Amino acid sequence: MSPTETTPYAEGRSDDEHYLVKTRPDILAVLRAIATHKVPVRVQFAGRPSVIEASLLLVKPQYEELVFDASGVSNRMFAESENQLVAEATYDYIHVRFTGEHVEAVTHHGKPAFRCCIPKSLARTQRRGSARFQVPSANPPVVRYLQDERGPEKRLRVMDISYGGVSLILEDPMADIATGTKLTGCKLELPKLGAVSTNLEVVYTDEMNPQSTWRRIGCRFSGLGVLSLERVRDYVAVLERDHLNSAKPDRS
């Protein structure tokens, strides 16, 4: 499932989306974002009923390890654990859960810490369609469609995109596109990935700014096939990885 290899899995609320992330660059991007933004991590050691709150201090792919602070964690807890932990964190719009193997106590800058191996996969949950990413202005996706059978083909630039839909830039002030409009037989052209076929349902329209006649129209995908959805997910995942990597991790 190139290039991102995200596998859906069923769990939790019906209005959430769940994915098992298996590709290393995506796993590292999420973990580094958690470390960089000092997101609280809930950790439960295998064989122990209690849950502690820790911070992910370092992501060290060269050593295949994650380093957490061990404030309030006793040596007895490590001794009685089964060399494994389960960690959960919520960053921005996603909830992440993963298992860490080979847990052991260490020190970091002279303070108690613990480490585990970088996971081979992590489970992520997000609100359905909640994560929207602005597309690059240099080479944006476009949507091609026919407003009527005898009219010319229309092309609208994509402003942002999610798994559930797109926002489009409508430059023509005379274009008759309102909330509830259904655009059928559309082609969404994704740079480097090709075109996907979908219908679009307009869910909102608004002015981009008071000085412009351009409008932004928000559209929901409709009738998007399985393979086309995977291609959209691949494109969104690349944008998300760039977003997560935009904040550089702590190298200490």
Alpha carbon distance 19, 237 (integer Å): 12
Alpha carbon distance 168, 187 (integer Å): 13
Alpha carbon distance 196, 199 (integer Å): 10
- Is 169 found in the same domain as 121? no
The pair of structure tokens assigned to 117 is 């191996």
Residue 238 falls within a domain, yes or no? yes
- Is 111 found in the same domain as 139? no
**By CB neighbour count within 10 A (0-12 exposed, 13-18 middle, 19+ buried), where does 12 fall?**
exposed
CATH number at residue 156: 2.40.10.220
Residue 1 falls within a domain, yes or no? no
Residue 252 falls within a domain, yes or no? no
Instruction: Render each residue's pLDDT in the chain as its tens digit; 252 residues.
Output: 333 444 443 344 444 456 788 888 889 988 998 998 899 999 999 887 788 899 999 999 999 999 999 886 776 666 666 789 999 998 776 789 999 999 988 999 999 999 999 999 999 886 555 578 889 988 999 999 987 777 778 899 999 998 889 999 988 877 778 899 999 999 999 999 999 999 999 998 888 777 778 889 999 999 888 888 889 988 988 888 887 777 554 444
CATH number at residue 69: 2.30.110.10
Residue 250 falls within a domain, yes or no? no
- Is 108 found in the same domain as 14? yes
**By CB neighbour count within 10 A (0-12 exposed, 13-18 middle, 19+ buried), where does 111 fall?**
exposed
Residue 251 falls within a domain, yes or no? no
Beta strand spans in 109-239 (E): 111-117, 122-127, 133-134, 142-146, 153-161, 165-170, 182-190, 194-207, 215-222
Given 81, 113, 128, the domain boundary residue is 128
pTM: 0.58
- Is 123 found in the same domain as 160? no
Given 128, 159, 189, the domain boundary residue is 128
Alpha carbon distance 95, 125 (integer Å): 5
Residue 186 falls within a domain, yes or no? yes
Mapped onto helix, strand or coil, the DSSP state of residue 139 is coil
- Is 194 found in the same domain as 110? no
- Give the residue from 30, 44, 39 showing the smallest Cα distance to 86: 44
- Is 112 found in the same domain as 27? yes
Owning domain of residue 182 = 133-242
Given 76, 104, 128, the domain boundary residue is 128
Q: Domain count for the chain, please give it.
A: 2
Residue 247 falls within a domain, yes or no? no
